Chains A and B, each alone.
Chain A
Amino acid sequence: MRPPPLVAHGLGKRFRREWALRDLTLTVPPGAVVGLAGSNAAGKSTLLALAAGVLAPSEGSIAVLGRDPLESPEVLGEIGYVAQGAPLYRSFRVAETIEYARRTNARWDGEIATELLTRIDSRAKVGALSAGERARLALALALGKRPRLVLLDEPFASLDPLAARELLQLLMDGVAELAATVVVASHVVADIQRVCDHIVLLSGGCVRLEGDVEELLESHRLLTGPRRPLGEIRGVREVVRERYSGRQLTLLVVTDGPIVDPSWTVHPVSLEELLLAYMAPERLPNVRPMERVQLRWHG
């Protein structure tokens, strides 16, 4: 059996005194399209840079395709990594950039790259490309390696929604062809929502939420009802977020069974709501509903 595409164990990265990642343990299932979500400075870029061997861990370990990217850098030939801002040599022409990738990658497939670059003048300087064209070129370079793992760091950050959607389509087509595992970091929930079947949400350098999108949506519910002190609700394992508007109380909960209490109206939750709820900084970790009542009710 092939090793999982990405495994982190107790992974931590410190920049001077600040921990960007701390004690992160994670396994990415093969073939998944993973959305790496989190607010700015949650540690998304750090995690991808560690996976691509650009950074060295301060503690713990990370393995990509079963190998340590620093100890066995040859594994990088099977990883398509696009760093934030798609850094490329600005003085190179597009064709020269492709040539660079061809000469430094044994697995290079020019056809995949060419397909993605049909509308870009190969004689243009990289520095003169628009943000969309540059992102496309970076994606072409990553997919041209016929990677088994694709790591994209905010690939849509500087793109307009139309260009972002187009790039996303190219990405999904390419990945489907290669049967690769993908990890896309983005703080824009809409990007992730459209393509990901798996979510890893980072907050403050730790994994806050992880799982299959379907399962997560299945296990979370929105409850609305009149404002009241919170007691035990049957079928609710954990309250993720409570929100008050006038006399109305809205809860985002993790369920462990059907909710039968008629005083609550039960709605399904959208992925966007779910991610935003878990990203919210006021959430206290691992507080049970009853304790939470005492903590919050007088405030």
Chain B
Amino acid sequence: MAWVTWRQHRSQAFAAFGLLAALAVTALVTHLPIASAFDHDSLSGCLPPATRTGCDIIVPHFESQFGGLVTATRILALLPLLAGLFVGAPLIARELEFGTYRFAWTQGVSRRRWLLSKTLLLAAATVVAAGAASLVLMWWRSPFDSLEGRMGPGGFDIEGIVVPAYALFALALGVLAGLVFRRTVAAMTATLLAFGATRFLVSDFVRPHFMAPLHRVISATATSGMPGDWVLSNTLVDAGGRRITAANEELAVVHAQQAGIDPHTYILTLGWRRIVSYQPAGRFWTFQLLEGGLYVGLALVLVALWLVRRTPA
């Protein structure tokens, strides 16, 4: 089956290889000015514990200079979806659409073995490709990671072991969608929607609760605090610890302005504080393992679903 899999999926392998090469070249070219700016401004000195002055000016300048690029890399969170769309979804749907299943599944290899061996080989290739993409992105993002951390979705979603895990999940999702919908385009659409929905739900509602978030009380006028942490919420509370709504905050500011007082000073005199809820930077690999495990588990559940489902007939 290895030869069969290679023959039927080599064009996808070439496409994946081309995509990875393009990603690596782009990363290399765009990394050069970043690295030189990082060295030129001696930004390593601004890493905690900061040993030099002026970091509060240099770091934001550096971040805004390359902010566009960093934002652009967020689209790469969709890379693992490609495995589902272009490898998983057509795997069975194409055979059904072109009638070739009547050839493929009537040879000496049973269709269960056909499906399992193909999927295992494709899953291995997917893990390798997604792992390589993840390594390239980790290397590219390393200056930003050292300054602003990678717990936030911008870094977390495209680094580490979650990238291959997402790709495996997308692949399994695509195969199941092809089995259910029997048409390539329908299967691709279903894969896209299900993958997007799952990723959104997990990153917004599940990931923040992998471990109980930590809390920190800071001055009402301070910014959120430690770089590298993933800030989940930043709430203004009064002296008694009650939450202050945005409208009330606005009122206080207006009140201060009318009275001719500096709003910051006014708020501090009221005894207001901020409570920051966050996941610390040090939990990165724990969270990666938890989320990676979650997606690999989901992929296995999907595989179990196709095995249970009766053969298409």
Contacts and interface: CB of A to CB of B under 8 A. Distances in A.
A89 B4 contact: no
B111 interface: yes
Nearest to A151: B106
A101 B4 CA distance: 10
Contact of A100 (B7, B98, B101, B110): B7
B106 to A, nearest CB: 5
Contact of B106 (A54, A92, A99): A54
B189 interface: no
A106 B113 CA distance: 14
Interface string B1-38: 10110011000000000000000000000000000000
Contacts of B112: 73
B205 interface: no
A203 B313 CA distance: 22
Contacts of B110: 73-74, 76
Contacts of A59: none
Contact of A77 (B7, B98, B107): B107
A81 B112 CA distance: 18
B108 A76 contact: yes
Nearest to A141: B103
B102 interface: yes
A101 B100 contact: no
B105 A92 contact: no
A55 B313 contact: yes
B102 A104 contact: no
Given A54-B313, A74-B108, A92-B7, A103 B103 contact: no
Contacts of B111: 73
Interface centre among B7, B8, B101 (most CB of A within 10 A): B7
Interface string B97-132: 011111101111111100000000000000000000
B28 to A, nearest CB: 34
Interface string A100-138: 110111111000000000000000000000000000000
B310 interface: yes
A77 to B, nearest CB: 3
A76 B106 contact: yes
B269 interface: no
B313 A103 contact: no
A87 B105 contact: no
Contacts of B310: 56
A74 B108 CA distance: 6
Contacts of B71: none
Nearest to A56: B313
A236 B230 CA distance: 94
A206 interface: no
Interface centre among B101, B108, B112 (most CB of A within 10 A): B108
A54 B311 CA distance: 9
B138 to A, nearest CB: 37
Contact of A89 (B8, B108, B109, B313): B8
Contacts, number: 71
A73 B111 CA distance: 8
Contact of B103 (A55, A87, A108): A87
Given A70-B311, A96-B7, A87 B98 contact: yes
Contacts of A74: 108, 110
Contacts of A89: 8, 100, 103
B103 A83 contact: yes
Nearest to A101: B107
A22 to B, nearest CB: 17
A49 B4 contact: no
Contact of B102 (A54, A77, A101): A54
Interface string B289-313: 0000000000000000000001101
Given A53-B106, A73-B110, A104-B108, A85 B99 contact: yes
A265 B31 CA distance: 99
Interface centre among B100, B101, B102 (most CB of A within 10 A): B102
B12 to A, nearest CB: 13
A61 B313 CA distance: 15
Contacts of A76: 105-108, 110
Interface in A53-106: 53-56, 70, 73-74, 76-77, 79, 81, 83, 85, 87-90, 92, 96, 99-101, 103-106
A61 B4 CA distance: 32
Given A55-B313, A70-B311, A49 B107 contact: no
B98 to A, nearest CB: 7
B232 to A, nearest CB: 50
A31 B225 CA distance: 85
Interface of A: 49, 52-56, 70, 73-74, 76-77, 79, 81, 83, 85, 87-90, 92, 96, 99-101, 103-108, 141, 145
8 contacts: A49-B102, A76-B105, A76-B106, A83-B106, A100-B7, A104-B4, A108-B108, A141-B103
Given A89-B100, A103-B4, 19 more contacts: A49-B102, A52-B102, A52-B106, A53-B106, A54-B102, A54-B105, A56-B313, A76-B105, A81-B106, A83-B99, A83-B102, A83-B106, A87-B99, A88-B103, A104-B4, A104-B109, A105-B107, A105-B108, A108-B108
Give the 3 A-B residue pairs with the shortest CB-CB distance, closest first: A77-B108, A73-B110, A83-B102
Interface of B: 1, 3-4, 7-8, 98-103, 105-112, 310-311, 313
